[in-house]
Amino acid sequence: QQVSIHVKDASIKEVFSRLTEQTGLNFMADALLMKNLKPLNLQFSNTPLNEVLQKCFSGEEVDILVNQNYKTVVIRKKAPAAKAGRQQKQVTGKITNSTNEPLPGVSIRAKNTVTATVSDTAGMFSIAVPENDATLTFSFIGFTTKEVAVKEGSDINVVLEDQQKALGEVVVIGYGEQSSKKVTTAISRIGGSAIAKQPVATPGEALAALAPGIQVQSARGGYPGEAPTIRIRGVGSLGTSSDPLYVVDGYPLQESTQFDLINPADIESIELLKDAASAAIYGSRAANGVVIVTTKRGKAGKASFNVSAYSGMQQIAKKVDLLNRDEYIDYAKFTARLRNVTYPAVFDTNPDSLPDVDWQDVIFRQAPIADFQMSARGGSEKARYSVSGGYFSQDGTMRGTSYKRYNLRFNMDADLHPKLKIGISMAPSFSDQYRQPAGGQFSEASASETVGGRTLPSPIHSAVLMPPIVPVYAADGDYAQGYRGLKNSANGVFFQASLYNPLGVLEQYRNRVKEYRLLGNSFLEYEPLKRLKLKTSLGATLNINDQNAYIPATLANNSAPAASRSNPVIAQIYAMENQSTVVDWLWENTLTYSGSIAEAHHFNALLLYSLQKYQAKSTGATGRSGTYTSALLENPLASSDLVGSLAYSQNSFLSFGGRLNYDYKNKYLLSAALRRDGSSRFGPNNRFASFPSVSAAWRISEEPFMQAISPVLNEVKIRASYGETGNASIGDFTWANNIVPRDYGFGNQRTYGSAQSGFANYDLTWEKNRQTDIGLELGFLDDKYSITLDYYTRETEGMLFQKDLPAIIGYAAFYRTNLGKLRNQGVELNAKANLNLGPVKWVLEGNISANRTKVLSLGGPSSLPPDAAIFGWDNVFQVRTGDPLGLMYGYEVAGIFRTAQDLQAHPQWVTGNKVGDWIIKDQNNDKKIDENDRAVLGHGFPDFLYGLNSTWQYRNIDLSILVQGVQGVDVINGNVRHQFGIHNVNTSPEYYNNIFDPQQPEKNAEYPAPLASGVTPLNNLTNKAVSDASFLRLRNVTLGYTLPQAALRKIKVQALRFYVTAQNLFTITRYNWYNPETSVTGDSVYRPGVDQGTYPANRVFIAGLHLGF
């Protein structure tokens, strides 16, 4: 490096500062050296830096050490030559890396002495050591520390192994870390950067397509703050939750929703423990896999500050094709004719006077999204810190919805003593969400979105059905809706009743959920003996959920169809404040010992004991209707009729276990674990269960006979594992039965009464998951290419089922018990390539996984009671033994009865058909159509999932794309149930142009006449409403530009990158509604893949920057 400097009588500090300006390097020198320097006179032009520095310190014997990684130059006095005698000798040598390049700056320490030095730019060193029994320790960041015993002679050449090279990535396993090369189980690692770069509200959404074996389904598309459904290796349970267990920095979260509040930017890495053997150390609750979240911690070194921010716009990814005014009027007249009803005269007299409203544009909008992050990390060798803060804000693309999240995190680690370490993590967060109903039928949105047992209209389904000729606002300023609008006679109402103005809901209904959370965790680690570590950690989660909801008197809905501003229905006002507090603490103790015998046998043993307790309380106050003095008051206190509510919950877990990892020369690897857990959630007779696991791997590539081909095939590992894990995701005390109130009104007064509720099961116990996994890992050309392949089979036994009881028992209709057997089988493939194409660095990683679920037993009956897809489409889903999950049953349409002859030629519905009805395929050939002619029309779980993640780096430009694919899955489009002319609602051209017209029986038609009998779009699911929902989505494209170092030096920052990102840029699918990924039933394993009024997916464009200094 060349520098130019011209100074007179300058201090060394001044010189350093000038040099820093030119080189971007920081200069450090021993204080003693500087103290003795005289003022300097320097005149150099384009002179090597070393020469200039030597001149500065002329008269002193100095070593000049340049460390480009740390951007530091250290000038130190040359180590004095060891004095002769005194049983000391001088050892010299050279340090290189595995490719024989010299390593400067390596610190060399003689064991049990204070003597230390560092290697020079040529990697050379010289150190005085005791004559006998001397051992040198060589350590350098990013390399494995090496100890070398000084034997005969005084020249030592040391090769330090790159940590990455030697042991591969380090992955986090339960209660520890392990090099990925030594892992014997199926673990996928996702780096934090892949998560942080996506503009998403919850970390789970960012996991889609990044690893095999994990399904991330954003069933409600772009709903702000909505967490997706996450499944690892299929659906693990029919009876209870299939959510994985989330462990954040060692703390197993009691509720999977607590994961949603983690700041994605704080995540260092996420490890997915997929097979039972890897998860078994979390035995109790690991049946559905474990997601281990590790947050960023401080590293010793200069403080680094990072600021990043992005902001952008979101829009719904797709609009549905619907009729406009003129088309709708044609359609309405057409169907009125078919139904023989009158339509408003204005349709003929003056159709142009009617409004033409695009109701999708009314409820959806372009919405901003923004994120701001700041962090500081650093520390000394003895104390390291990481402080970060984040703010995320997302307005919903549907009006009335928004989400904001505020995060702070403070991670601190300190070495109090060489044998004593302490660590503290505190992570407070706060989120603020405005919710609106999204999902469900126009008149009745999904119950989970409405409060107080009220049914509110589903705005999205309403917007789709609302005729374009209904104005948004009526003349008097009220929200217009069909029934107040056009009349087809003096006082008659033309439009479908109970179709309410969706904007009225979005602007008037309030459902605000604030979530406060504090996750705190601390540990103390003591190493009483070398390699024996005793760690005790104590953590607690405090969660406060604060909900505030209000249904005003002016909101029209089924309970008050005529409510409006001019006609407030005071009685329907509902104002609610609800707060729930959850305190969960965990005390965990581990004892680990790692060691080796004769350099060949390595082992690591772990003992574990933990207690966890959860307590929740929910209190609420509801201001009830009818007592308000003013319709404008939104607080429950406005009501003199306050009703309170109170609920409790608690549970506890007690666990102890152990694990032994062993390997022989990193070649034969073996791991075994056993955990025993007890939980208050189970019946007193059966609270404890044991969860064993064993796994083994053979790194064939380490065998001598493989060495010949190792330059090409450097890694071959086969591994196998078997393990058992448990599931306890049931509510608390479901094993118990009890007495609940049931009152009556004797003498017109409330008389307190009681009833028995629930059916006790004192034997209720853990659901068990047994999983076998076989894996193969290959690395080519020094891991330039790598492949991981896994096959697994996973059987869930004793599922925690809500089993139906015969109704004649009377006081209980079901009870929680263990029954049945479910199998998931699958294969996963992950492949990665690190390509260096000259100046372009290309990393390509792809994964594909397939999972098949089969119901093996339902504990007796061969099927479960059928479930409806949506209101009106009953008996669509039925779980049967021997079948996969998620089969959709319904009728197959074979055509339309166009003529009287057709009525003779085809089997009819049991109560008869008429011209214009659908011909239904006679599946069982019994010449009549009835319930027995249902057939499988589709399936709601995908055949396979794939993801492709590719990043390119060319000089200062980086580009990455992430492709997500889901293949072989169907969705039921419940949005179209009302669109075939029987109701006066809007429809899509696809329907309108395909309705059978008796006047034109020859015209091509797919849908029956509006007054059809037998199977109609209204009363049953047919194949016409089932669509292939496979999709390929360009989930993320990011283009970034990092400013060159030279430019950065001028503005004194370390790193500055600008980028633009498009999330969900496009989706290729056959599904013609908003989002193929949708599910109105959330994570239901019984009713997957149903769409009705669900929130569309968003397309997001952002621009952002990262700044490091």
Partner 1 sequence: CAVTGCSSFVDITPQHVIPVGNYYKTEADIRATLTGAYGSLRDIYNGYWIHFELPSDNTQVFTENEGSYGEFDWLTFRSTGGVSGPWNQAYRTIASANIILDRIDGITITDELKKQYTGEAKFLRALMYFNLVRLFGNVPLVLKELLTEEEAYTYRRTPAEEVYAQIEKDLLDAIAMLPPKFTGANVGRTTSGAARSLLGKAYLQQKKWELAESTLSEVINAYTFEPDLTKLFGPANDNNSEVIFSVQYVAGGIGLGNSFAHAFAPQKSGTSVVSLGAFSNNMGTQDLYDAFEAGDLRKTAYIGVFKDGTNPKIYYWSKKFVNNVSVLNDGGNDWPVIRYADVLLMYAEALNQNNKTEEALTFISKTRVRAKLTALTGLSKADTQLALEKERRLELCYEGHRWHDLIRWGKEVSTMEAFQAKYGPIDPRLSNMSITADRKLMPVPFREINLNPLLLPQNSGY
Which H/E stretch holds residue 164? helix 163-167
> Is residue 644 at the binding interface for partner 1, with CB under 8 A as the rule?
no
Using CB under 8 A as the criterion, what x/- string covers residues 737-766 for binding partner 1?
xxxxxxxxxxxxxxxxxxxx--xx------
784 neighbors 714 (Cβ within 8 angstroms) = no
User: What minimum distance in Å lies between the beta carbon of 875 and partner 1?
Assistant: 6
CA distances from 549 to 18, 579, 1095 (A): 63, 12, 20
Chain mean position to CA 298: 25
Q: Is residue 561 a contact point for partner 1 (CB under 8 A)?
A: yes
User: Nearer Cβ to partner 1, position 708 or 807?
Assistant: 807
Site for partner 1 in 492-551 (CB under 8 A): 492-493, 496-498
Number of residues forming the site for partner 1 (CB under 8 A): 90
One of 653, 941, 996, 1007 touching partner 1 (CB under 8 A):
653
First to last CA, the chain: 23
User: Least distance from C-beta 731 to partner 1, angstroms?
Assistant: 11
Phi, psi of 163 (to 5 degrees): -60, -45
Output the smallest distance, CB 866 to partner 1, in A: 7
Q: Please spell the DSSP secondary structure of 175-188, one letter per residue.
A: TEEEEGGG--S-EE
Q: Choose the binding region for partner 1 from 466-474, 683-691, 947-955, 991-999 (rule: CB under 8 A).
A: 683-691
Query: Toward partner 1, which CB reaches closer, 160 or 569?
Result: 569
Positions in 472-491 near partner 1 (CB under 8 A): 483, 487, 489-491
Smallest gap, in angstroms, from Cβ of residue 482 to partner 1? 11
User: Closest distance between partner 1 and the C-beta of residue 931, in Å?
Assistant: 9
Tell me which stretch binds partner 1 (CB under 8 A): 9-17, 370-378, 462-470, 648-656. Answer: 648-656
Contact between 570 and partner 1 by CB under 8 A: the answer reads yes
Q: Which amino acid is present at 72?
A: T
CB of 569 to partner 1, least distance (A): 5
Closest to partner 1 by CB, 112 vs 756, is 756
**Tokens describing residue 455:** 């049914």
Q: Which of residues 867-926 bind partner 1 (CB under 8 A)?
A: 871, 874-875, 911
Footprint on residues 945-974 left by partner 1 (CB under 8 A): none
Using the contact rule CB under 8 A, the part of the chain among 125-133, 539-547, 735-743, 920-928 near partner 1 is 735-743
Where in 92-111 is the site for partner 1 (CB under 8 A)? none
Strands 88-97 and 155-160: parallel
- Binding segment toward partner 1, per CB under 8 A, in 106-114, 266-274, 734-742, 837-845: 734-742
SS3 state of residue 865: coil
Half-sphere exposure at residue 313, Cβ-oriented, CA atoms within 13 angstroms: 3
Site for partner 1 (CB under 8 A): which residue of 447, 736, 833, 1065?
Answer: 736
Q: How many CB atoms lie within 10 A of CB 912?
A: 10
Cβ 512 vs Cβ 432: under 8 Å? yes
Pairwise CA distance, residues 425 & 586, whole Å: 14
Residues contacting residue 491 through CB under 8 Å, at least 6 positions apart:
none
**What is the torsional sign of CA 397, 402, 408, 409?**
negative
Candidate list 30, 177, 703, 804; residue touching partner 1; CB under 8 A? 804
Token match 């102890």: residue? 656
Q: What is the DSSP letter of 473?
A: B
> Considering only residues 74, 127, 555, 563, which one is a binding residue for partner 1 as defined by CB under 8 A?
563
- As measured in angstroms, the least distance from the Cβ of 1096 to partner 1 is 25
Chosen residue from 268, 330, 732, 930 binding partner 1 by CB under 8 A: 732
The least distance separating partner 1 from the CB of residue 486, rounded to whole angstroms, comes to 13
Q: Which two tokens stand for residue 770?
A: 């047994």
The residue among 32 and 647 lying less far from partner 1, judged by its C-beta, is 647
β-sheet with 88-97: strand ranges across: 124-130, 88-97, 155-160
**Range list of H helices, 28-162:** 31-35, 49-56
650 is a contact residue toward partner 1 (CB under 8 A):
yes
Q: Which residues from 826-865 bind partner 1, rule CB under 8 A? A: 861, 863, 865
Least gap, CB of 492 to partner 1 (angstroms): 4
Location of structure tokens 């407030």? 568
Q: How far is the CB of 257 from partner 1 (least distance, A)?
A: 23
Q: What is the DSSP letter of 212?
A: T
Q: Is 79 in the site for partner 1 (CB under 8 A)?
A: no
CB of 240 to partner 1, least distance (A): 18
Closest contact distance (angstroms) between CB of 603 and partner 1 is: 25
Instruction: Give the C-alpha distances (Å, rounded to integers) separating 780 from 212, 703, 892.
Output: 20, 16, 51
Q: How far is the CB of 585 from partner 1 (least distance, A)?
A: 12
Nearer CB in complex with partner 1: 492/711: 492
CA nearest to 693, candidates 282, 288, 285: 282
Q: Which stretch binds partner 1 (CB under 8 A): 103-111, 261-269, 466-474, 555-563?
A: 555-563
| 679 is an interface residue for partner 1 by CB under 8 A | yes
Please give the residues from 451 up to 470 whose contact with partner 1 meets the rule CB under 8 A. none
Task: Find the binder of partner 1 among 597, 708, 808, 1051 (CB under 8 A).
Answer: 808
Contact 461, 446 (CB under 8 A): no
* Residues shown for the chain: 1109
Binds partner 1 by CB under 8 A, chosen from 602, 676, 821, 832: 676
| Contact mark string toward partner 1, 983..1022, x via CB under 8 A | x---------------------------x-x---------
Q: Measure the CA–CA gap between 412 and 332, rounded to whole angstroms.
A: 68
866 lies in the site for partner 1, by CB under 8 A? yes
CB-nearer residue toward partner 1: 750 or 1003: 750
Whole-number Å distance between alpha carbons of 1000 and 993: 12
Buried b (16+ CB within 10 A) or exposed e, 651-684: bebbbebbbbbbbeeeeebbbbbbbbbbbbbbbe
The Cα 151–Cα 89 span in angstroms is: 11
CA quadruple 271, 277, 281, 285: dihedral positive or negative? positive
DSSP per residue over 875-938, as a string? S-B--BTTSPS-EEEEBPEEEE--SHHHHHHS-EETT---TTSEEE--TT-SSEESGGG-EEEE
Stretch that binds partner 1, among 24-32, 567-575, 1054-1062, 1091-1099 (CB under 8 A): 567-575
H or E stretch including 820?
A: strand 814-837
Q: Tell me the C-alpha distance between 498 and 441, whole Å.
A: 11
| Phi, psi torsion values for 642, nearest 5 degrees | -90, 135
642 binds partner 1 (CB under 8 A): no
Q: Which 38-67 residues touch partner 1, going by CB under 8 A?
A: none
Footprint (CB under 8 A) of partner 1, residues 393-452: 443
| CA 192, 197, 201, 206 torsion-angle sign | negative
Cβ at position 463, least distance to partner 1 in Å: 19
> Which among 247-255, 552-560, 766-774, 849-857 is the span making contact with partner 1, rule CB under 8 A?
552-560
Residue numbers 602-641 binding partner 1 by CB under 8 A = 609, 611, 613, 624-626, 641
Output the CA torsion 159→162→166→168 (10° steps): 180
Q: Which is nearer to partner 1, 417 or 742 (CB)?
A: 742
